[in-house]
Chain A
Amino acid sequence: MEALRAHDHFPEVRPAPQPAPRKRPLLARPGAERLFIFLARFIIASALVVLVALIGDVAIDGAARLHLDFFLNFPSRKAENAGILAAWTGSLWLLLLTISFALPLGIGAAVYLEEYGKKNRFAKLLELCIANLAGVPSVIYGILGLQVFVRTLGFERSLLSGALTLALLVLPIIIMATREALRTVPKGYREGALALGATKWQTVWTQVLPVALPGIATGCILAFSRAIGETAPLITLGALTYVAQVPDSIFSPFTALPIQAFNWLSRPQTEFHTNAAAAITVLLTFMIALNLIAIVIRAKFQKRQR
């Protein structure tokens, strides 16, 4: 603009003849950047739409079946009479048992690696195993559980077998999340305690773990929310799809929400698809609630850190 006006006033002042203007390369044009930003926003918006569609689709399909009876009935050959009593109680049992196995083991392992971790062969092997286990498909855990817990140890297709399998499955996730949380604890807390003559364990127990707790909790909640959604390992384990009893001990046979949903989903009749949608809605509600708890804990924690 400025330049143009200057030309108007002083027409005799001509800029030196320029070489023929080269076109700017494609990526350097402002349009390219705008296009990219548009594309990125479009993809993000699509992801959001899919998320809403995913949850909305299931919730709308399942809404018709979501009344009290659905929670209090056992499965049935008639879709409208079938319910998820065995499934949701089974899922709850599974969750609690999995937590009680995986939490102490996972946190213990993370503390060992992060706080005691010597750079020896054992630690190296451990790191390698954990990194590898984190990437092992969940069906493989099911195969392991089938052979070790169901057959070799003779736990049959019980809650115990299911929970042990799921515990092994989430263990690497818990270890990694806990280590991450332990790493955020300032060095000064450890040094301060040690300089007062605290033992290693006293330092960990009284200083490090309390400070890392919110981070550990967040990571573990997310891990367990994954555990209750797992279907494949339980199917491989041979979890039953028709169970008409509420589990009363760790040796009870069991079913779980995702298995029940899968069972209904794989039937040809569409009425059962409605049941599947309702069961999935219950599962999703529970999972999203867990996620929200994790988000709240994290937000609170971050505020306190600042």
Chain B
Amino acid sequence: MKSHPSTKVRAKEVGIELALALCSSVSILTTGGIIAVLLLESFRFFEEVSPSQLLFDTQWTPLFLDKHFGIWPLIAGTLLTSAIALSLSVPAGLIIAIYVSEFATERTRRFLKPILELLAGIPTIVYGYFALLFITPALQFVFPSIGSFNALSAGIAMGIMILPMMASLSEDAIYTVPRSLREGAYALGASKLQMIIGAVLPAAIGGITAAVILSAARAIGETMIVAIAAGQQPLLHFNPLAPVETMTAYIVQVSLGDTPHGTLEYHTLFVVAMMLFLLTMGLNMISLAIRERFKRMYR
């Protein structure tokens, strides 16, 4: 076989493949970069503060004179707002998913999809505005004692923000349930709801769990809504009507404060970010593993 044009052509092909591989390696570099930055700067923090203080102190006051570095108030704030958000978005998202996949006509579906996409695409600062200047005033009618910054309104806004994601991921999970399962349930004389609850949901449970976990990760990592509407008081409580500070809100607070580079306060930024990263990455990986297993089940 002649090979006169091939050396040049082949060199070009190899060059292009290499360039493309390089493009994709950016993702590996980014992941590595995040881990390296967080580890290095957190290490600086632990040179001055012992990990046990981080884990066993119950106060978080690194920006004050009397410094305490117990991360629990931030974690509690994060969990509280996330729990409120999930208790709204999980049931509502699941119901929408079931409705869309089992009851809705094609037309409804086509109408609903862009709405959910738009709802998902709205910048979180808009949700923050909405929580602070719409939801909180509305809540004040019901709970006159509620503060102008509170966990509840931020949680509600976050729940609405997560709803589209929860709905579309659950719908994907329900969609993969094979027809034969549905037909099997019907053949036994099940009603539609019985079929859904007895056959479809148990079969889709893996995907739905993955959706819930991803929603949780999203809630934990959400920043602007809580920074605007939940307040900046790192207090250890579970009262939805009172202000809280989440991990993300703390990061925003420090960033806005022009904290000098290299100080202990500056390093707290990375410690909190590290906790946040570990938490969300853990949830993401669990969700990914569940989805993988689930996918294999129906192949």
Partners in one complex: yes
Chain A residues whose C-beta falls within 8 Å of the C-beta of B31 in the assembled complex: 129, 132-133
Chain A residues whose C-beta falls within 8 Å of the C-beta of B214 in the assembled complex: 135
Q: Which residue of A lies closest to B21 (CB)?
A: A112
Q: Which residue of A lies closest to B112 (CB)?
A: A44
Number of B interface residues at 8 Å Cβ cutoff, please give it. Answer: 84
Chain A residues whose C-beta falls within 8 Å of the C-beta of B55 in the assembled complex: none
A33-41, A78-86, A245-253: which one contacts chain B?
A: A33-41
CB distance from B77 to the nearest CB of A (A): 15
Q: Is A125 a contact partner of B28 (Cβ separation < 8 A)? A: yes
Q: Is B124 a contact partner of A229 (Cβ separation < 8 A)? A: yes
Chain A residues whose C-beta falls within 8 Å of the C-beta of B285 in the assembled complex: 132
Contacts A47-B119, A132-B31: A143 and B270 contacting too (C-beta < 8 A)?
yes
A8-16, A92-100, A183-191, A277-285: which one contacts chain B?
A: A277-285
B181 near A: Cβ within 8 Å? Answer: no
Chain A residues whose C-beta falls within 8 Å of the C-beta of B217 in the assembled complex: 135
Which chain A residues numbered 72 to 121 have a C-beta less than 8 Å away from chain B?
104-109, 111-113, 116
Q: Report the bound CA distance from A116 to B19 in whole Å.
A: 12
Chain B residues whose C-beta falls within 8 Å of the C-beta of A213 in the assembled complex: none
B56 near A: Cβ within 8 Å? Answer: no
Number of A interface residues at 8 Å Cβ cutoff, please give it. Answer: 90
Q: Is A133 a contact partner of B130 (Cβ separation < 8 A)? A: no
A126 near B: Cβ within 8 Å? Answer: yes
B92 near A: Cβ within 8 Å? Answer: yes
Interface string of A195-236 (1 = CB under 8 A from B): 000011100000000000000000000100110111110011
Interface string of A63-74 (1 = CB under 8 A from B): 000000000000
Contacts A143-B37, A284-B122: A238 and B255 contacting too (C-beta < 8 A)?
yes
Q: Is B27 a contact partner of A140 (Cβ separation < 8 A)? A: no
B207 near A: Cβ within 8 Å? Answer: no
B121 near A: Cβ within 8 Å? Answer: yes
Other-chain contact of B123, A36, A51, A130, A283 (Cβ < 8 Å): A283
Other-chain contact of B118, A113, A134, A288 (Cβ < 8 Å): A288
B252 near A: Cβ within 8 Å? Answer: yes
Interface string of B83-121 (1 = CB under 8 A from A): 000000000100110110001000000001011111101
Which chain B residues numbered 258 to 299 have a C-beta less than 8 Å away from chain A?
258, 261, 269-270, 273, 276-277, 280-281, 283-285, 288
Q: Is A143 a contact partner of B269 (Cβ separation < 8 A)? A: yes
A193 near B: Cβ within 8 Å? Answer: no
A297 near B: Cβ within 8 Å? Answer: no
Chain A residues whose C-beta falls within 8 Å of the C-beta of B41 in the assembled complex: 147
B230 near A: Cβ within 8 Å? Answer: no
Other-chain contact of B273, A58, A125, A143, A228 (Cβ < 8 Å): A143
A201-B16, A287-B122 given; name 5 further pairs at CB < 8 Å.
A40-B95, A44-B99, A108-B24, A135-B217, A232-B251
Query: Nearest 10 pairs between A and B by C-beta?
Result: A137-B221, A229-B123, A108-B23, A40-B99, A109-B24, A112-B20, A135-B284, A232-B223, A28-B191, A129-B31
- Residue numbers of B with Cβ under 8 A of A are 9, 12-13, 16-17, 19-28, 30-31, 33-34, 37-38, 41, 92, 95-96, 98-99, 103, 112, 114-119, 121-130, 132-134, 160, 163, 190-194, 197, 214, 217-218, 220-224, 227-228, 248, 251-252, 255-256, 258, 261, 269-270, 273, 276-277, 280-281, 283-285, 288
